[in-house]
Amino acid sequence: MIYLQERGLTEYDALAEKATAATNHFNDISDRLKTIETRLGAITALQKYIGNYSKTRDIYVQYRQSGYNKKHYAQHEGDIILHQAAEKHFDSLGLKKLPTMNMLKQEYATLSAEKKKFYQGYRPAREEMMELLGLNQT
CB atoms within 10 A of CB 136: 17
pLDDT value for 129: 85
Asked whether 84 and 64 are in contact (CB, 8 A), the reply is no
Task: Identify the pLDDT of residue 3.
Answer: 56
Which structural domain, as residue segments, surrounds residue 65?
2-136
Mapped onto helix, strand or coil, the DSSP state of residue 57 is helix
Question: How many other C-beta atoms are found inside a 10 Å radius of the C-beta of residue 82?
Answer: 20
pLDDT of 133 reads 75
Q: How many structural domains compose the chain?
A: 1
pLDDT of residue 20: 86
H helix intervals, the chain:
2-6, 12-65, 70-75, 77-93, 101-136
Reading the chain (138 residues) residue by residue, the pLDDT tens digits are: 555 556 656 666 766 777 788 899 999 999 999 999 999 999 999 999 999 999 999 999 999 999 999 999 999 999 999 999 999 999 999 998 999 999 999 999 999 999 999 989 989 998 888 877 776 555
